[in-house]
Structure 1
Amino acid sequence: MRIAHILGAAALALGLAAGPAAADSPSPSPSQSGSAPTLAGTSFRTATEIEQGQRATASGATGDYMYWSFPADAGQRPTVHATVRLPRSHAAQTWQIDVYDGLRRRQACQYGAQTRTAAAGAASVDLACVLRTVRAWSEPWANDPLPGTYYIRLTAVGLTDADLGLPVDAEVRVDAKDIGGAAAVDGSLARPLVPGIAASSRTDGTDEKDASASSAVLSAVEPDGGWSSGWWSDRWVWTAVGGVLAALAGVGGYALTRGSGRPSRVPPGA
């Protein structure tokens, strides 16, 4: 009975501890407000903002650069999908998607068809880029993906003169998988890497506090529930669960090995 009680208490502790972790880490969901964007930017500053799970479309021409931006928080592994619908008649074309972080550093794709060549006359071409997991903190010299705004650039490379300016339709979508405590690190950024510009200068005597309050943020999109990027992660839950299980195992082992606790009988005349 003692062993059954110990195992029952361990299972209860595991369920109570794991429950809040699952509730605090919801998966990204598509935006429920507003319609899907139908335009693409032509530079980093004019990139069209999209949310995770939101499908965006745009019309353009071969030779153009198309830009979109999206938010990615710590512990997420974003995947960028892009589809380009080509005109009926065209030569072989090579299309490419590049992803940049908030510091405009190009981020490598873990896997996926980042560059793909469409054969002559092909109706469309599909591209994909799975980024590395976003870290809450990184060394200044590292190129690790960090929380903030990310940019998608879609373009055709190596075009012939005959194919320049042909009309195309593009569709992009960003999904993210929540990796959780497996990607947690001991540290966090003070603020996510979201581009912004100071609306006023301190040369006119304005103090630093007032200047920071009047700054204008260029990117308004953020993950559902806001930016986390804090010290908390579900690995703390599993660490606590491991400690509880270890303590219960110690109590159970002691209960099995300590014996009845009564002194053994001494034979008469010994």
Structure 2
Amino acid sequence: MSVRTTLTRSLAALVAAAGPVALPATALAAPSDGPTPSPGAATVTRAGTSFLTATTIAAGQPVQVDASTGDYLYWSFTADAGQVHDISATVSFPGARSGASTWTVEVFDGLRRRQACTAGAQTPTADKAASSVSLGCTLREVRPWAEPWSADPLPGTYFVRLSVADVPEPDLGAPVEVELLVSADGEGAPADDGELAVPLVPNTRAGAVLTDEQAIAPVDDADEGSWLDDLLPALGSRWIWTSVGGILAAVAGVVGFALTRRPRRA
């Protein structure tokens, strides 16, 4: 019994001693949880300055842009039903700064509705001595349909906006290096009770440009009114009710005067 007890205690001591050594090796071997670029994807080197000029990117396509502190950077990507998108960004500061700065990454759908993030550092603060700051935003799963009053993510175009929320005034205009990546998990629409007829894509062509022939249309003399129409305003409900009110006020004045007038004495 004593030999078995001694062996058991020795094995337990070896396991306890090897545990702390084996755990770091396992942690180092584990892959990172952040999104990775797609193999062979071309790097995007520019960004838009508004919703209308947002640069189109695809999921898994890396972005590397040189910008200035205070710029609003816009990108757009397409989302399908059943997908969960993860946006990760890194802002590097090549030069010295005078103080801490707060950066933010925001996501909007095709109707310009701000989407909530379920995970990620959406508004981190970089200290004065920090050389970079990392931002992240994990969106909710895109639904194939939703109620009109809800703000659930739907298939269509989505916009990513990266900007600085709080920065010392001397640091405005300082150069920064921005790296951004959008990843998509999930394929196909989940089993649901509806389907969106048209994706939420912003209409950037609201009207057609008229040519010179269309803009200058001939005016028919018969359509022109007489000089009396220029003097008198067009009759409408407002003029009718005003006239009726004036007549009633005059009648009420006459009746009131007749009731309150005293008869003359002979």
Aligned to 2:174: 166
Aligned to 1:152: 160
Distance apart, 1:39 and its partner CA: 0.6
Distance verdict in 2 for CA 1:199–1:93, change over 3 Å: closer
1:189 maps onto 2:189 in alignment: no
| Corresponding residue to 1:77 among 69, 84, 89 | 84
Aligned to 1:87: 94
Matches within 5 A, 1:3-152: 30=38, 32=40, 35-90=42-97, 91-152=99-160
CA distance in 1, matches of 2:57, 2:191: 26
CA distance in 2, matches of 1:159, 1:200: 40
Kept in 1, the 8 Å contact 2:44–2:63? The answer is yes
- In structure 2, stretches of 5+ residues that fail to align are 1-36, 212-266
Distance apart, 1:197 and its partner CA: 3.6
Q: Could you say which structure has the larger radius of gyration? A: 2
Kept in 2, the 8 Å contact 1:97–1:154? The answer is yes
CA distance in 2, matches of 1:199, 1:108: 28
3-state SS of 1:106 partner? coil
3-state SS of 1:196 partner? coil
Coordinate RMSD, CA, aligned: 2.5
Distance verdict in 2 for CA 1:197–1:64, change over 3 Å: closer
TM-score (norm 1): 0.60
Q: Which amino acid aligns with 2:200?
A: L
Q: Which amino acid aligns with 1:48?
A: T
Kept in 1, the 8 Å contact 2:119–2:137? The answer is yes
Kept in 2, the 8 Å contact 1:88–1:121? The answer is no
CA distance in 2, matches of 1:123, 1:175: 25
Kept in 1, the 8 Å contact 2:52–2:204? The answer is no
Q: Which amino acid aligns with 1:154?
A: L
How many residues were matched structurally? Answer: 175
Which structure carries more strand by proportion? Answer: 1
CA distance in 2, matches of 1:140, 1:132: 17
CA distance in 2, matches of 1:197, 1:56: 24
- In structure 1, stretches of 5+ residues that fail to align are 1-28, 205-270
CA distance in 1, matches of 2:39, 2:53: 21
Q: Percent identity?
A: 51
CA distance in 2, matches of 1:200, 1:31: 40
Kept in 1, the 8 Å contact 2:100–2:168? The answer is no
The CA deviation string for residues 3-43 of structure 1, in whole angstroms up to 9 with x for no partner, is: xxxxxxxxxxxxxxxxxxxxxxxxxx83857x321011100
Aligned to 1:18: none
CA distance in 1, matches of 2:129, 2:95: 6
The CA deviation string for residues 186-242 of structure 1, in whole angstroms up to 9 with x for no partner, is: 1111111122344765x99xxxxxxxxxxxxxxxxxxxxxxxxxxxxxxxxxxxxxx
CA distance in 1, matches of 2:167, 2:118: 26
Kept in 1, the 8 Å contact 2:68–2:172? The answer is yes
Kept in 2, the 8 Å contact 1:75–1:184? The answer is no
Distance apart, 1:124 and its partner CA: 0.7
Distance apart, 1:87 and its partner CA: 2.9
TM-score (norm 2): 0.61
Q: Which amino acid aligns with 1:63?
A: G
The CA deviation string for residues 93-149 of structure 1, in whole angstroms up to 9 with x for no partner, is: 111100000111000001111110111121111111000000000000000000011
